Structure 1
Amino acid sequence: MIRRTYLYLLCLILTEYVICMSEPNLHDPVIESRTKNKRGVPVLRGTILENESTVQLDQPLQATDADEMGGAKIICGYRVLSAKHNCPFTVQMIDRKKGTAEIRLKEGQKLNFEKRIRYKFSVVAYDCGEIARESDRAVVFVKVLDVDEFSPKFEKTNLFADLREGKLYDSLVKVQAIDQDESQQYGKICSYEVITPGVPFSVDNEGTVKNTRALYYNEMHSYIIQVVAKDCGGKKSKPISINIRVKEVCKNGWKDFPSAMEYLPQSGAQKIAPHASLDWCDACVPEKVSLKMHLATKHIGKGCDRDTYSIASQRKLCGASGESIDLLPSPGVGTGWTKNLPTDDGKESDQIFYFDGKTNAVEVPKASFNHTLHKHFTISTWMKHTFSEDTESKKKTQKEHILCNSDGDGMDRHHYSMFVHGEKFVFLLRREAEDETDMDVFKPAEWRWHIPQINDNEWHHYAVSVDFPEVRLYIDGMLLIPDTSNEEILDDWPIHNSKKVHFTKLVVGACWQGKENEFGKYFHGYLAGLSILKDKTESERVIRCLNDCKENLEFHALSEMESGTSVSFNSEMTEFSITSHNITEVERLLHEVSYINSRRYPTPGRRNIDMRTSILCKEKETILPLSESYIMVQQSAQPTLTIQGKSNIDASVKDLKAGRRIFEDIGINVDMHIQEKTVPDDALLLDRCTIKAEPPLDFHVEHMTVPVDIMSQFNMKLESSETNSGLQITNADKMKNYELVLQGVTYVHNNAEMLSSRKFVLSCSSQNGRFISNDFLIKVVAMHQEPIQPVAAHAEKSVQHVQQSQHMNMPVNSMGMVNSSSPNVGMVAIIVVCVGFLMFMIILGVIRIRATHRKTQVVQVEDKLDMEWDNTELNITENPMEKEVFDYEEEASKPLQDDSDSEDDISSYHDNSDSSEEEETERKQKMGDLEWDDSTMSI
């Protein structure tokens, strides 16, 4: 049965094979196409990107076969027919049953648009019959599409162009880039772009570069711009640099005159225009070249950077007489009459006082200056004055008094005065009659100077020196040469004695009218350093020294000048002039002009410089454009002043009554913050040290003194003044001299038995308060017993015990004074017994508490705990109660306990008391920590 089945299946298979082998393959495959050429051949068209592998045909590549059975109806594949053997394409089947396929790039092949754009080849389809049949051929056209492979490139990497200043150009330079892509889309440059920001240039799509505004050589000599090209695919080139130079049109004037320069303090002279050159474009040869350079310093201090120290200190440094009286001192110790005047901060210059012309004036007290002047004296001041709008119409008649000495009551006579009257500076001196024969003699009484400086709103120094009847006026340190155009002298009778007048008043900023009992003729402007030297006149050398400016122009090439050339300076060395026949000579001399500021710590800020130049050619003068620059003076490293020394000084009653030196080990150090290894000892002069007493001094019982012998021995320039606020030492001098004087300052207290301690605060400054030291606090502690001589240990303990026992019974009154009544020994014994018993109860309580918590333990108390005090370490050398004998800082409000002191006038000691709870607590802690020696007690 099985064999029959196998034979049947084998028969079926053989039959099927025979049938199949006998199927007919009658039809050729046909490639379908919607497009055919003239000969009826199917045509297919496609495109491919040069970086892709599949051709995008305009219609699907598909073949069919009319056979209905077997493999003959199936399309097995396509073959590419080409006249050239390097056709890079092949046909890959997609679906045999449908006969669809696609054209792809052969493996390993690569297209390049730049080498070949089009391909033409034929394809035929064949079926899967036993004997394969092919279709007729179909023609395929493939177009290669370009890819943006390359970025644009410029033929040159750098270009140069020139333009004349002030002109707009349609085309300065033309740039051109190329692209290696061959297609119209990617091989063409679509645009150019300037990528440098903020430049006045543009470029169009054709590569033409032009300026967008007129350019000038003095703005910038050249520009460097960068331009990129962009193709139509968006790719950009690397930038190309274009250097565009601005060609200056020849104009008369200076070139390379710097617009600004920096000046470092202590750097010496610095040249202003070392490379400047003068352009002269006219054809004629100059006959005369004139140049004037001006350094503007009017805005610095009082006209230049001269005010390192106060006028009083400057007078000392210039060697002026020390007898001169300052009528406008800085408000401070002993100079209260200027405290209500408006001032500046006084840090960068002297204290400047403002007078409003309406209300403010000050009277100089007679205690500070005797008003009477004789035949010889000098009055000097700094003044800045101009007429305001509301006084312009009155300027010809209105008098503005700088200084006026007039009758205090009864009459309005002016004894001497200095005032502004219109365009004139006037000095009045009405001398008193020397005898009866002198009463009717006319003598010079009023000097009037017509000068332009008086109303120019700039700082000027005026000094009137009198050697009667001769009167001299110095302006900015220079003697005014009198003539009929600038000086007028009026004569008058001497002033007669009058019983109506009992005193005179000396006023600054106005004049006192004694008859009306009011001020009048107010001054409107600024004053500083107003002083009077009596009974002698100041030398011209000192007056010039006071006006010396610390910053100026310098020129040291006088020996190198050619013949026919001249140079000159003004008195302040702030204006420099050159006159020559040669432009080259003027240029060379200008290169040698320098700026210098000799202050170690100059006022930082800007100093303007302007230069005016004129050229005379064929009797025609040409004024060249103004050349302007400025010097920026930099801030110097600021010094640090430090005061060091002992902060606590012990003084016995005997020393305090005789005078105790309280700053004997004081030291003043300065850190200059510079790299110099050695600094001269006069690099920084001190000009003020103030010792402030806290609370203020009571001159009935205490005062301070300075070592006059030291000051006179070393010919120091220092001066001192004392008020109840403390002691002040002034004037510029070396730091070591200030140390010597401070180390010799003594504090004296006539009732030293009442004193406990005293506080003083020391501070010093330099350059009129510009640099200030730390506040150094020192405390003077009064010792009310002689030091205990060394004795045996047991004797020392006994003495300490007795002292403590005695002091515990000595009452203290409200001033901290110890009552001198005999000690109460019984009271001391009771206190000691109570304290001992209390300690025993505390210890016993602690032992019982511990026993409660440790019931299983037995508490053993050593025998030493029974009322036996360990005094082996007892070493009390100072009675804390005795330190509270009398202290300005505490016990000020407690009532007196000793009636014998009730009549003493000591109310000033309680003023401004600043006792603290911290000191009270500290004293109580010291008392609580004492170990009492009860070895001598029997209880």
Structure 2
Amino acid sequence: MTLLLLFLLLGSLLPSSSCNKANKHKPWIEAEYQGIVMENDNTVLLNPPLFALDKDAPLRYAGEICGFRLHGSGVPFEAVILDKATGEGLIRAKEPVDCEAQKEHTFTIQAYDCGEGPDGANTKKSHKATVHVRVNDVNEFAPVFVERLYRAAVTEGKLYDRILRVEAIDGDCSPQYSQICYYEILTPNTPFLIDNDGNIENTEKLQYSGEKLYKFTVTAYDCGKKRAVDDAEVEIQVKPTCKPSWQGWNKRIEYAPGAGSLALFPGIRLETCDEPLWNIQATIELQTNHVAKGCDRDNYSERALRKLCGAAPGEVDLLPMPGPNANWTAGLSVHYSQDSSLIYWFNGTQAVQVPLGGTAGLGSGPQDSLSDHFTLSLWMKHGVTPSKGKKEEETIVCNTVPNEDGFSHYSLAVHGCRIAFLYWPLLESARPVKFLWKLEQVCDDEWHHYALNLEFPTVTLYTDGISFDPALIHDNGLIHPPRREPALMIGACWTEEKNKEKEKGGDNSTDATAGDPLPIHHYFHGYLAGFSVRSGRLESREVIECLYACREGLDYRDFESLGKGMKVHVNPSQSLLTLEGDDVETFNHALQHVAYMNTLRFATPGVRPLRLTTAVKCFSEESCVSIPDVEGYVVVLQPDAPQILLSGTAHFALPAVDFEGPEGVPLFPDLQITCSISHQVEAKKDESWQGTVTDTRMSDEIVHNLDGCEISLVGDDLDPERESLLLDVASLQQRGLELTNTSAYLTIAGVEGITVYEEILRLARYRLRRGAALYARKFRLSCSEMNGRYSSNEFVVEVSVLHSVNRVTHPSHMLSSQQFLHRGHQPPPEMAGHSLASSHRNSNHSLCLVESPSLGSSQGHSCLGSWSVWV
């Protein structure tokens, strides 16, 4: 019985002991916490406070909270338990936090109990709660200005809402301390205000005549009233009243020949005075009409230039110099251009009729007539002249020529700014065709060259070497054919109906001249020069460009960097360049690359006026600005002159028998011609040289042409009965050179290379008639190039003729031995410069030449070998 009671007692006690060790519930915490921690502090204030509850309380261990765990990457916080029984805890920073580094932190927290015993077995954890901790800022940073110095410029007499804006920043993280609440001008008595955003304005109108530069100091405060440690300086410049214009250009622009392309406005910029523009158009005009015929071209004569450019011969001059064989131009007014070319003036009431055949070489037969292949070439200066009635056509040339099947007819005329070519292949059957071009060059009253190539049915017009296709072609079938007679008229044309023009009231017509029963009309008013025609063969494009294209003009090559929306247009003669765009900076860049270029090695020096005209369009028409014109000039400097040097033997003496030979004696057997250009160079001193460098010019030898040489006499002219200058005419003609041989000089004219002229001049010979009593002669040689623009040195050669002396019978011009050997007697004038000396009376003596000091001999004597001398 006792054992049973003991067993029952133990059974009742066992359940009670197992309950004490049980951990049935998880701890519980809030789902979310909001925390605040002050910058540079570590205690986090949580809302709600951190408490963990456990339903196993008040059991020891199972009902107690042993701690908290934080979950998250790099969480700078930790959680500690303050009271295990109540579950109170706190979160604190492991080290002071920085708001500027991170303003907010988010992580999770979990509570855990103490388990079932001191060993912490069977520990239970709560759910994970989210914790948001915000770091409260502390005003630890002062404002800092973005710039230490601010600069601006204002125009006098204006009040600005904002001249410039200063800016300060703050390194704090919160809006309260990181924002700049206000700025302050520290310098007293300044006519400026600054607002809370840092905008500075003027309180009164500033005058350029007063203070031109204002300097003052500003500071900044953040919203925590902390002032900037370093203040900022402000400089405001007062400028005179703004005038829209081009800035940064030079009125005078110097161009050195050979410099290539030279920018005209490298630093130019457009001042718009803050007026917004949406379109800019500028025109640059280069005036070259005063340079020769409209612009700088090669300085050779027309004939020389044709040879250099490879033009085929055979052209016929329709307006030659008046003379016995060309009297049809005698009645015209004659002028001369700067390059000495002949110019004819047609006053609108006169014309010339070119005779057929003879000098003209036209229309004398089918072999001389114009076929359907020919080239007309002329210089023309024509402007539009006001008239009472309708502007009439002005005829330049009118021609009817015979051909194998009958007659053909053509005319070239101008009508206002149009130029027209009428061609009638066959008067008997074909219909006339009229080709029209509209060109500003026709009526601008400037010199231009026109070359018309007819290769029917194709017609090409070249103006200043640039080709133009016809703008319009008319089939003029209703035109009454002209008379079927050969006729060539320049400056007007004839009409079949005698009184038709007068009945219409036309002023541009007259009655026929003597020998011409038909009236003349359509008179030309302007200048003509260099008018020629060549039939049967056309001038090529390359030849025409070489002959007549301008060698100077405006140039633009920077198309790769041309901005968006920019347009560039250059007229054919390169005298007018137009730019158009919508952005000022892009436009400035484009204009800075407009250049002047002259491709001639020896450019014509002088002034080329320059004008820049600008038109702008503004967003506001009422306040739109006007840009004044820019006027300047390009000065083409004098080119470095070529130095043409002639050198060789300056004196020689030969026996008379050599001069009396059939070919005479060469005057310049070892002639050397060199051409070089001396130019200024920067002096450079060698490191080992201790002296000074004074020679700063360098000479570069160049390959060049000559256009003429002259051999003239120093002293009396040649006596044709006793002496002559000889040169092979055939060799000159083969090279297209002209020879003029007179008693005073011999000239060679025509463009050729230096080596050719050397070869020809070495063949120039001096010949004496046998028995001529001549003893010495001086010849002067000089050459020129560029149509006589540059000349060589004068190379003087003295020749001495050595005669044998007969003792018994000597001519009157010879001396006897007694006279010759007389010490006090001078030889006759014609023997000046040399004498005979003998110390023995043999039949053979050594002949010596006694040279005058002017011949450059330091000794004054030179023995010429052994000659027979009869004494």
Alignment TM-score, normalising by the size of structure 2: 0.52
- Name the residue aligned to 2:791: 772
1:651-700: CA deviation from partner (whole Å, max 9, x where unpaired): 85897645765443333344634246452523x5322334569869989x
Correspondence 1:309 to 2:300: yes
Counterpart of 2:673, as a letter, is: I
Counterpart of 1:349, as a letter, is: D
**Equivalents in 2 of 1:510, 1:265: separation in Å?**
46
State whether residues 387 and 395 of structure 1, in contact with CA within 8 Å, keep that contact through their aligned partners in structure 2.
no
Counterpart of 2:308, as a letter, is: L
- Name the residue aligned to 2:375: 378
1:792-871 to 2 correspondence within 5 Å?
A: 800=805, 803-808=806-811
- CA shift at 1:538, angstroms? 0.9
- Name the residue aligned to 2:281: 290
- CA shift at 1:460, angstroms? 0.8
Aligned equivalent of 1:630, options 630, 633, 648: 633
**Equivalents in 1 of 2:554, 2:537: separation in Å?**
35
- Name the residue aligned to 2:291: 300
**Equivalents in 2 of 1:735, 1:596: separation in Å?**
28
- CA shift at 1:465, angstroms? 1.0
- CA shift at 1:586, angstroms? 0.9
Tell me: CA distance 1:770–1:360, structure 2 relative to 1, closer, same or farther (3 Å).
farther
Does the residue aligned with 2:560 lie in a helix, a strand or coil? helix
- CA shift at 1:280, angstroms? 2.4
Structure 1 regions of 5+ residues with no counterpart? 1-161, 168-214, 224-243, 408-412, 432-437, 499-503, 789-799, 813-817, 819-827, 843-868, 879-932
- CA shift at 1:630, angstroms? 1.8
1:369-448 to 2 correspondence within 5 Å?
A: 370-371=361-362, 372-375=368-371, 376-386=373-383, 392=387, 396=391, 399=394, 401=396, 418=412, 425=419, 427=421, 440-444=428-432
Tell me: CA distance 1:567–1:394, structure 2 relative to 1, closer, same or farther (3 Å).
closer
**Equivalents in 1 of 2:416, 2:759: separation in Å?**
52
**Equivalents in 1 of 2:360, 2:436: separation in Å?**
26
**Equivalents in 2 of 1:490, 1:613: separation in Å?**
48
Does the residue aligned with 2:305 lie in a helix, a strand or coil? helix
- Name the residue aligned to 1:564: 565
Structure 2 regions of 5+ residues with no counterpart? 1-152, 159-206, 214-235, 363-367, 495-511, 681-696, 826-837, 848-868
1:303-382 to 2 correspondence within 5 Å?
A: 303-325=294-316, 349=339, 351-355=341-345, 357=347, 370-371=361-362, 372-375=368-371, 376-382=373-379
- Name the residue aligned to 1:742: 761
Counterpart of 1:296, as a letter, is: Q
**Equivalents in 1 of 2:489, 2:740: separation in Å?**
24
Correspondence 1:687 to 2:707: yes
Tell me: CA distance 1:634–1:452, structure 2 relative to 1, closer, same or farther (3 Å).
closer
1:788-838: CA deviation from partner (whole Å, max 9, x where unpaired): 7xxxxxxxxxxx4xx3533438xx9xxxxx9xxxxxxxxx9xx999x99xx
Considering fraction of residues, name the structure with more strand.
2
**Equivalents in 2 of 1:395, 1:805: separation in Å?**
97
State whether residues 295 and 552 of structure 1, in contact with CA within 8 Å, keep that contact through their aligned partners in structure 2.
yes
1:698-720: CA deviation from partner (whole Å, max 9, x where unpaired): 89x988544766996xxx6x532
Tell me: CA distance 1:591–1:635, structure 2 relative to 1, closer, same or farther (3 Å).
same
Tell me: CA distance 1:758–1:308, structure 2 relative to 1, closer, same or farther (3 Å).
same
Does the residue aligned with 1:808 lie in a helix, a strand or coil? coil
1:579-602: CA deviation from partner (whole Å, max 9, x where unpaired): 333211111222222223333332
State whether residues 448 and 487 of structure 1, in contact with CA within 8 Å, keep that contact through their aligned partners in structure 2.
no
Counterpart of 2:383, as a letter, is: T
- Name the residue aligned to 2:613: 612
- Name the residue aligned to 1:460: 448
Considering fraction of residues, name the structure with more helix.
1
Tell me: CA distance 1:763–1:339, structure 2 relative to 1, closer, same or farther (3 Å).
farther
- Name the residue aligned to 1:482: 470
1:888-927 to 2 correspondence within 5 Å?
A: none
**Equivalents in 2 of 1:655, 1:509: separation in Å?**
61
Counterpart of 1:464, as a letter, is: L
- CA shift at 1:747, angstroms? 7.3
- CA shift at 1:552, angstroms? 2.3
Does the residue aligned with 2:700 lie in a helix, a strand or coil? coil
Tell me: CA distance 1:303–1:934, structure 2 relative to 1, closer, same or farther (3 Å).
closer
Tell me: CA distance 1:687–1:469, structure 2 relative to 1, closer, same or farther (3 Å).
same
Does the residue aligned with 2:259 lie in a helix, a strand or coil? coil
1:240-261: CA deviation from partner (whole Å, max 9, x where unpaired): xxxx998232333322232222
- CA shift at 1:463, angstroms? 0.6
Does the residue aligned with 1:558 lie in a helix, a strand or coil? coil
- Name the residue aligned to 2:584: 583
Correspondence 1:666 to 2:664: no
- Name the residue aligned to 1:271: 263
Does the residue aligned with 1:806 lie in a helix, a strand or coil? coil
Counterpart of 1:686, as a letter, is: L
State whether residues 393 and 413 of structure 2, in contact with CA within 8 Å, keep that contact through their aligned partners in structure 1.
no
Tell me: CA distance 1:604–1:487, structure 2 relative to 1, closer, same or farther (3 Å).
farther
State whether residues 658 and 664 of structure 2, in contact with CA within 8 Å, keep that contact through their aligned partners in structure 1.
no
State whether residues 443 and 493 of structure 1, in contact with CA within 8 Å, keep that contact through their aligned partners in structure 2.
no
- CA shift at 1:309, angstroms? 2.0
- Name the residue aligned to 1:253: 245
Does the residue aligned with 2:612 lie in a helix, a strand or coil? strand
Does the residue aligned with 2:383 lie in a helix, a strand or coil? coil
- Name the residue aligned to 2:515: 515
- CA shift at 1:272, angstroms? 1.9
- CA shift at 1:560, angstroms? 1.5
- Name the residue aligned to 2:737: 719
Aligned-residue RMSD, C-alpha: 5.8
State whether residues 615 and 626 of structure 2, in contact with CA within 8 Å, keep that contact through their aligned partners in structure 1.
yes
- CA shift at 1:336, angstroms? 11
Tell me: CA distance 1:770–1:518, structure 2 relative to 1, closer, same or farther (3 Å).
farther
**Equivalents in 1 of 2:650, 2:356: separation in Å?**
38
Tell me: CA distance 1:681–1:653, structure 2 relative to 1, closer, same or farther (3 Å).
same
**Equivalents in 1 of 2:478, 2:272: separation in Å?**
56
Alignment TM-score, normalising by the size of structure 1: 0.48
Tell me: CA distance 1:247–1:524, structure 2 relative to 1, closer, same or farther (3 Å).
same
1:811-866: CA deviation from partner (whole Å, max 9, x where unpaired): x9xxxxx9xxxxxxxxx9xx999x99xx9xx9xxxxxxxxxxxxxxxxxxxxxxxx
Counterpart of 2:709, as a letter, is: C
- Name the residue aligned to 2:273: 281
- CA shift at 1:766, angstroms? 1.9
**Equivalents in 2 of 1:520, 1:652: separation in Å?**
69
1:143-195: CA deviation from partner (whole Å, max 9, x where unpaired): xxxxxxxxxxxxxxxxxxx997799xxxxxxxxxxxxxxxxxxxxxxxxxxxx
- CA shift at 1:301, angstroms? 1.7
State whether residues 406 and 514 of structure 1, in contact with CA within 8 Å, keep that contact through their aligned partners in structure 2.
no
Tell me: CA distance 1:516–1:648, structure 2 relative to 1, closer, same or farther (3 Å).
farther
**Equivalents in 2 of 1:697, 1:508: separation in Å?**
49
1:552-577: CA deviation from partner (whole Å, max 9, x where unpaired): 23333211223333323222333333
1:85-96 to 2 correspondence within 5 Å?
A: none
State whether residues 425 and 451 of structure 1, in contact with CA within 8 Å, keep that contact through their aligned partners in structure 2.
yes
